[in-house]
Amino acid sequence: MSSPVGVAGEAAPLAAVRGPNWDSRFTVLILFLPPALLLFTLFVVLPIGEAAWYSGFNWNGFGRPTHWIGFGNYRFVLETRAFWLALRNNALIIAVSLAIQLPLALTLALMLADRFRGAVALRMLFFMPYILAEIATGLIFSFVYDGDYGLVASIWRTFGADPPHLLASTDTAMLAVLIVIVWKYFGFHMMLFIAALQSLDKTLVEAARIDGATRTQALRHVVIPLLYPTIRLSVFFAVVGSLQLFDLVMPLTRGGPADSSNTIVSFLYNNGISRMRVGYGSAIGVILFVICVTFAFTYKRWFMRDE
């Protein structure tokens, strides 16, 4: 006699799950999932597979690839000094982004998160560089850095010194690019931090102040810990963006002089596309893809597992 009751008791939750809500969700999946999967396959999966296939050929992009060399392109890439220099530059961009750009953005966000007269105007002023297109930014700063007629040259002449040609020197080209990167992107991270600060529970800070905490102590022990999810997200954006940096480098230096300011993507463009070495360029692209995916999954696994 207990068996039918048990069966009915087990069937009831299943029926509750497979109710109208389940049917509506299933309908939504049927309508929207296939187009999304089709687009993802056409524009992500297939190009990745195609690049991996072409990386095994010594091919200039014309006709059908026939000269199979296996992992030869990867060996050529890893034996090229310019590739390791580009990888070092990407690591330098990441270091500057994490050590200078994000702290600057967080400091300004803490100053501008509260409502006061002129706060909105200041936020927009700092956010405007991010809105500006990368190519336009690069062209503007190429004139700013011009050693003959640029703003930097004018400042140098004011002090009676010979103006430097920052973009033409292997010692200063990468430094000039790093300055533009910090100026261009810190506003984006600042707005992320401001949005997170404005969504915090103010009563927690007020409780800490009532308990005797100073403003600095409340900031260190209450506000900053509550911002950890946003900080982790901002770090992720900064690292992935640094690995994929390309648009700013090309109008400024095109990776020169002597490959001193190349990033991995500009190195791929200069050696794979400009020189029509499609197999070689595909190998560089696959290496960059592996680096990005490895970082993304590792960072998600260890730092954003609960978000």
| Residue-by-residue DSSP string for 57-68 | B---SSS----B
Query: How many domains, the chain?
Result: 2
Exposed, middle or buried, 97 (CB in 10 Å: 0-12/13-18/19+)? Answer: buried
Same domain, 83 and 34: no
Same domain, 114 and 256: yes
Same domain, 141 and 21: no
Of 38, 54, 70, which marks where a domain is finished?
54
**What range defines the domain where residue 116 resides?**
79-303
User: And the tokens for 136?
Assistant: 């336009």
Same domain, 203 and 238: yes
Provide the 10 A C-beta neighbour count for residue 166: 24
In a domain, 73, yes or no: no
What string of pLDDT tens digits covers the 307 residues of the chain? 444 444 444 444 544 445 556 667 878 788 888 888 899 899 888 988 998 999 999 988 888 888 899 899 999 999 999 999 999 999 999 999 999 999 999 999 999 988 888 889 999 999 999 999 999 999 999 999 998 888 998 999 888 888 888 999 999 999 999 999 999 999 999 999 999 999 988 888 888 888 888 888 888 888 999 999 999 999 999 999 999 999 999 999 999 899 999 999 999 999 988 888 999 999 999 999 999 999 999 998 898 776 6
Same domain, 255 and 188: yes
pTM for the whole thing? 0.86
d(CA 73, CA 259): 20
Q: Which residues pair with 68 in a beta bridge?
A: 57
